[in-house]
Amino acid sequence: MLNDYFQHQAELSDLECDLRCPNDCSAPGCWMADVIVEVTFVDLIRLSKALTTRVSHLFSQYCQLGLITCEDNLRYKRLAIKMKKPCPFLSENRCMVHDSKPLSCILFPEIYQVKGLLPQLSQKPIFNSFPCLKKPIAISENRNHALKKLRRMSIQEQALSHDYLFGVPSFIVCAKPLKKKLRRSHPKKNLFSLKDYDTILNKTLKASGFLESVFEKISRLDTMAGMKHIIEKLNDRVMMTHLVEKMVRPGVVHKLERHHIKKLKRSLLSPAIYFM
Ligand code: SF4
């Protein structure tokens, strides 16, 4: 079942794909620290099968927990698994795991063309050095359909991954207390990068035991039974619809205190729109 799922994804990824990376591309998305490559445990399972490596090894060596900014509401950030940068799979501007790379890498940049957001994306200073964003990307009808299907899979995998690892499909963090901590430790600094936030976040997650619990859950995926159990959930349509609904309308915001995580009830409006 697991192999069938990945085989289906591979077929969709290749279907009428005309995108070729320009020769002058230095693969900025793969090495720039500010360009976040989000991964899910399903991506890690796919990679672990291709590389015959344990999921827990991939997680501890190549990934890190970090925050993603919500552009329209700076007060909140979302917890995610990020690929370390430069991506450890990048070699001489080439992706060494092209056939089993994370869904977010597969979807970029075509999904922005499908959503009609390519012009907006290419205007952002961070994407200035991306030659693939300089002109529209040709996408056939079948390709369009395949990309939308992959995008749906990616959203479901994200909801399932976060629910399993973090206890909720969308782990929203209130940035205010983290900023206060950063200000206390760097009184002369006014602007803080996501890297600053991630450093302080990981310290707090470690102190509260959250990191240990995430690693313990990831370790369960090292066994075939553990992988199957989780992947079977992806085929449960009712459960997945419920998880995705909860992901786009989270009702809880997490406040990270020194040694523990406080849950605050909040109704947020579709943050998925901002974060995706
Ligand atoms: S997995 Fe491949 S495509 Fe994705 S960031 Fe790493 S090197 Fe780039």
Choose the residue to mutate in 21, 32, 101, 103 for probing ligand 1, maximizing ligand atoms within 8 Å of C-beta: 101
What's the confidence (pLDDT) of residue 270? 54
What's the confidence (pLDDT) of residue 97? 96
Q: What is the DSSP letter of 268?
A: -
Question: To the nearest whole percent, how much of the chain has pLDDT over 90?
Answer: 64
Q: Which domain holds residue 74?
A: 2-275
Per DSSP (E only), the strands in 88-157 are 90-91, 94-95
122-160 residue pLDDT tens: 888 888 889 888 888 889 999 999 999 999 999 999 999
150-203 residue pLDDT tens: 999 999 999 999 999 999 999 999 999 999 999 998 888 888 989 999 999 999
Report the number of distinct structural domains present in the chain. 1
What's the confidence (pLDDT) of residue 107? 95
What's the confidence (pLDDT) of residue 269? 63
Count of C-beta atoms within a 10 Å radius of residue 269: 10
Token output for 92: 């001489």
What's the confidence (pLDDT) of residue 211? 95
**Average pLDDT of the segment spanning 5-34:** 90
Asked if the peptide bond before residue 271 counts as cis, ω within 30 degrees of 0, the response is no
pTM for the model stands at: 0.92
Tell me which residues have their CB closer than 6 angstroms to ligand 1.
30, 37, 83, 87, 89-90, 95, 97, 101-102, 105
For ligand 1, atom 2: residue with the closest CA: 95
What's the confidence (pLDDT) of residue 72? 65
> Is the model's pLDDT at 33 over the cut of 80?
yes
How far, in Å, is the centroid of ligand 1 from the Cα of 62?
11
